Amino acid sequence: MSAAIVIPARYGSTRFAGKPMHKVAGVSMLERVWRIARAVQSASRIVVATEDQRIVDHAASFGAEAVLTPESCANGSERVHAAIAAANIKEDILINLQGDALLIPPWVLDAMIAEMESAPDTGIVTPAVKLEGETLENFKKHKQASPASGSTVVFDAQRDALYFSKAVLPFVRKPGFADTYRHVGLYGYRKAALEQYVKLTPTPLEQTEGLEQLRALEHGMKIRVVIVDYKGRTHGSVDAPEDVAVAEAIIAREGELV
């Protein structure tokens, strides 16, 4: 197998210090995410990348491999890149699985890896879920209450991304032609593409929308969108302390992912 999953897990979050070690329904967030990664059938290695020895020690407590990366890493992609050298990662495909993505079904990551293995020229992949009916209406209502929550993506006939936005895209002037897809904030990279990305300068749309993937598009890099199905599971992550109760309620209602 040629894919490694790297879990960026930053201790020093300004909104939620020590977040990866915080327990959700009795298990730390980091261990939950690691268990999801371990259930991905097409991955050959899992590495936790952090800036803090406390995370390294916590990862070791449940058997995970972890490495220290520079505190200066600006985002998860930069931390994944730093982990290549720190952990001597040989795999060419790298999946960036954020340390707070404790509700991501493992088959979503398998789909990302399968896309990259079937399309050797694809440098970056990211998943998206089709929204329709009640799910779409609920997404729109949530956007009204919290405009910066959730992102959508539009893509071309080859499923290469045209644009990502915090707005609901596309604007529906004439219904029945195009669907709405919610972007799932995970990324798969080939080493060469990640090496190219981390050297790019910030871009106007990236800074305006606060979406790091727009930097790649604005510099002419392609991002392949992988359409995935959550199979009835609820999407979510833990960004702030108040999200913990929401995640626990989902787990209680739907059961454990793995």
Q: Domains in the chain and their CATH numbers?
A: 3-254 (3.90.550.10)
Measured between alpha carbons, how far is residue 88 from residues 4, 57, 81, 84, 253 in Å? 11, 19, 11, 6, 40
Asked if the model's pLDDT at residue 244 lies above 80, the reply is yes
For range 97-119, the mean pLDDT: 96
For range 132-140, the mean pLDDT: 93
**Short-list 200, 238, 224, 257, CA closest to 93:** 224
Question: Is the pLDDT higher at 143 or at 94?
Answer: 94
- What pLDDT is recorded for position 1? 58
pLDDT in tens, 39-74: 999 999 999 999 999 999 999 999 999 999 999 998
Residue 163 phi, psi (nearest 5): -165, 145
**Short-list 135, 118, 133, 142, CA closest to 226:** 118
For range 216-232, the mean pLDDT: 97
- Distance separating alpha carbons of residues 76 and 115, to the nearest angstrom: 21
Structure tokens at 224: 């392949």
CB atoms within 10 A of CB 65: 14
Q: How many helices (H) and strands (E) does the chain have?
A: 9, 12
Structure tokens at 201: 């300068």
- What pLDDT is recorded for position 92? 96
**Short-list 24, 216, 243, CA closest to 126:** 216
Q: What H or E segment, with its residue span, contains residue 193?
A: helix 191-198
- Distance separating alpha carbons of residues 218 and 204, to the nearest angstrom: 8
DSSP 24-40: ETTEEHHHHHHHHHHT-
- What pLDDT is recorded for position 74? 86
- What pLDDT is recorded for position 68? 98
- Distance separating alpha carbons of residues 239 and 224, to the nearest angstrom: 26
